Amino acid sequence: MNRAARVVRWLGRALLAAGLAAAAAAQAGNQKEEALADSVRLALANAIKDARPPQPVFRDEAARQRYGVWLAEMSERLRRKLPDAQSRSEFLATAWYEATRAGLDPAMVLGLIQVESAYRKYAVSMVGARGYMQVMPFWTGVIGDSDRRKLFNMQTNLRYGCAILRMYIDMEQGSLYLALGRYNGSRGRPEYPNAVLAAWKKWELAPAAGGTH
């Protein structure tokens, strides 16, 4: 291969990489600061206030067993993204706890995290969204203690993200499509909701293995 051909090939690869990076960046969260009713702001503040470690509660032994199956299966799927077994287990336990606490499907939350940050704890988007669920820093002033650094704490980030998405779902009268668009700052456009819904399917537990609840 001559030098000119090598340069063309290198440029092609560089452009492809740049395109992929831009596509990934376009998915990063960009929630908009908007006027909230005092009752909504108070409910959100209360939702993120409790900093106790996640302690799953099960209604019966069958539910506990299904959770064990879910945890084992998701741990295997997440092994490449989070190689350390203890960190992976803590992350999944927290994601499950915060998702169910907010009335969300844990598989959907995992799909959203995949799209938002690719499971990078310290991810920061071009617009400043932070952490696993790419939470915008202004939320810490609206419903928290204004300490933006806490958005890099695993449980804090997941709790903010799940509580905010739950609020958007309620605001959109149950429409997950519109709520996801609002979460991403692209309400009404299909790209982001479709990306999350596609990722969601990859994190669902096979029916034969049991459910997540």
Looking at residue 1, what is its pLDDT? 54
* pLDDT tens string 34-69: 767 787 888 888 888 876 777 888 889 999 999 999
* pLDDT tens string 62-119: 999 999 999 999 999 999 999 999 999 999 999 999 999 999 999 999 999 999 999 9
pTM for the full predicted model: 0.81
Q: Taking 70 as the threshold, does the pLDDT of residue 27 lie above it? A: no
From CA 10, how far away is CA 196, in angstroms rounded?
32
145 within 8 A of 139, measured Cβ to Cβ: no
From CA 160, how far away is CA 27, in angstroms rounded?
18
Q: Where are the domains of the chain?
A: 3-209
71 within 8 A of 94, measured Cβ to Cβ: no
The fold adopted by the segment(s) 3-209 is Lysozyme (1.10.530)
